């Protein structure tokens, strides 16, 4: 006698339930160390905690500046007060926008290739390609299983090969590469501008306070004005310390753009012993890096990942046959 039994999860109704097919997206099986937001629409690095610190370092001082300095200048600076207040609100928001775009966009990641059938041990470690009449070595990446294009490097933090890799910036929590470099430049230059703006406006408020005090007492000193505006003085000290870092970074990257180098290339002295094959001239370098159109991303993070076959282990997938 042969008895065929098919298990069912709906014993009472006697009907086999329809199992919804779960589609696995590429971002859910991503081999790198990235963090994904909005179901794979935004890609970030693994060190998002430091990014939160960066956001706080911009947001909290800016809120103090607007609430305790800009609003006072709005009332005391005459016709320029509304303009000062408008820029006091716009600049921090612009910095946060550039930070968000830099940290959440694809820096130029090259998707990994399947491992070679004959094994990576039989593949040459490097090959030579020609760039603008110069011969440049293209190394093979054992992790991503591909020959890196010129200026591409593998980031050990994010575990990805990135085109025109500049560096991994922990302050923005993301690699800086071909597709987000201009937004990084806009972020550091706008942050430098914000620091200078806070410094000037806070100093201006102390000057106005000093003038007011001297109208009542001609012997009032700068320290008396500072005592009346402690928030302004605190901001002056804070941005004076910060501007050396972001300002120096802005100047350094201006030099890199002018010479068409990356931070990675500059630190490794790749261009010191030979002509730079990527240097088009100062003005053309700026146009090429900052004004050229951004290439589409090579990633398809929200596409359905290739199906991975698995053994039928769910009760609804098992069909039992008993033969007697």
Q: What is the DSSP annotation of 137-184?
A: EEEEETTTTEEPPTT-EEETTTTEEETT--EEETTTTEEE-TTTHHHH
Integer CA distances (angstroms), 284 to 276, 290, 291, 295, in order: 14, 10, 10, 18
- If we measure between CA atoms, which residue out of 13, 47, 38 comes closest to residue 171? 47
Strands (E), the chain: 2-6, 35-37, 42-44, 109-110, 126-131, 134-141, 146-147, 153-155, 160-162, 167-169, 174-176, 319-323
User: What are residue 243's phi and psi, to 5 degrees?
Assistant: -65, -25
Dist CA 254 CA 179 (whole Å): 17
> Among positive and negative, which fits the CA dihedral 160, 166, 168, 173?
negative
Dist CA 169 CA 179 (whole Å): 15
**Residue 181 near residue 165 (C-beta atoms within 8 A):** no
Dist CA 163 CA 176 (whole Å): 9
* pLDDT by residue, tens only, the chain of 324 residues: 444 444 444 444 444 544 445 788 889 999 989 999 998 899 999 988 899 999 999 999 999 999 999 999 999 888 888 999 999 999 999 999 999 999 999 999 999 988 877 766 677 777 888 787 778 888 899 899 899 998 999 999 999 999 999 999 999 999 999 999 999 999 999 999 999 999 999 999 999 998 888 887 777 788 988 999 999 999 999 999 999 999 999 999 999 999 999 999 888 765 554 678 888 888 999 999 989 899 999 999 988 887 654 444 443 333 433 333
pLDDT value at position 123? Answer: 76
Integer CA distances (angstroms), 122 to 23, 108, 136, 138, 160, in order: 36, 28, 22, 17, 23
The three-state secondary structure class of 5 is strand
Dist CA 284 CA 290 (whole Å): 10
pLDDT value at position 225? Answer: 86
Dist CA 8 CA 318 (whole Å): 9
- If we measure between CA atoms, which residue out of 239, 244, 247 comes closest to residue 198? 239
Q: Which of 141, 158, 161, 169 is catalytic?
A: 169
Dist CA 109 CA 180 (whole Å): 11
pLDDT value at position 272? Answer: 55
pLDDT value at position 82? Answer: 93
Radius of gyration of the chain (CA): 29
- Residue 291 appears among annotated catalytic residues: no
pLDDT value at position 129? Answer: 80
């Amino acid at each position: 006698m042969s008895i065929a039994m098919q298990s069912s999860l709906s014993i009472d109704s006697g009907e086999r339930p329809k199992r919804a097919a779960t589609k696995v997206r590429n971002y859910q099986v991503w081999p790198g160390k990235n963090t994904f937001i909005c179901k794979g629409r935004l890609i970030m690095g693994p060190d998002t905690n430091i990014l939160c610190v960066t956001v706080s370092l911009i947001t909290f001082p800016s809120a103090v500046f607007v609430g305790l300095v800009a609003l006072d200048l709005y009332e005391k600076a005459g016709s320029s007060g509304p303009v000062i207040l408008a820029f006091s609100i716009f600049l921090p928001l612009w910095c946060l926008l550039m930070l968000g775009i830099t940290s959440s966009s694809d820096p130029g990641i090259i998707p990994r290739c399947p491992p070679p059938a004959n094994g990576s041990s039989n593949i040459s470690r490097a090959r030579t390609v020609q760039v603008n009449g110069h011969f440049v070595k293209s190394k093979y990446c054992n992790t991503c299983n591909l020959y890196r294009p010129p200026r591409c490097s593998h980031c050990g933090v994010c575990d990805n090969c990135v085109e025109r890799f500049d560096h991994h910036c922990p302050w923005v929590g993301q690699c800086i590469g071909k597709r987000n470099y201009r937004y990084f430049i806009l972020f550091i230059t706008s942050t430098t501008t914000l620091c200078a703006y806070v410094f000037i406006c806070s100093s201006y408020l102390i000057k106005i306070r000093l003038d007011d005090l001297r109208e009542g007492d001609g012997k009032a000193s700068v320290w008396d004005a500072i005592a009346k505006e402690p928030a302004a003085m605190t901001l002056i000290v804070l941005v004076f310390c910060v501007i050396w870092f972001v300002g120096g970074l802005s100047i350094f990257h201006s030099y890199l753009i002018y010479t068409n180098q990356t931070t990675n290339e500059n630190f490794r002295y790749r261009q010191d012993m030979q002509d730079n094959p990527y240097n088009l001239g100062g003005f053309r370098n700026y146009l090429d890096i900052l004004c050229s159109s951004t290439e589409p991303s090579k990633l398809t993070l929200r596409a359905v990942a290739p199906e991975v076959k698995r053994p039928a282990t769910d009760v609804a997938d098992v069909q039992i046959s008993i033969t007697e």
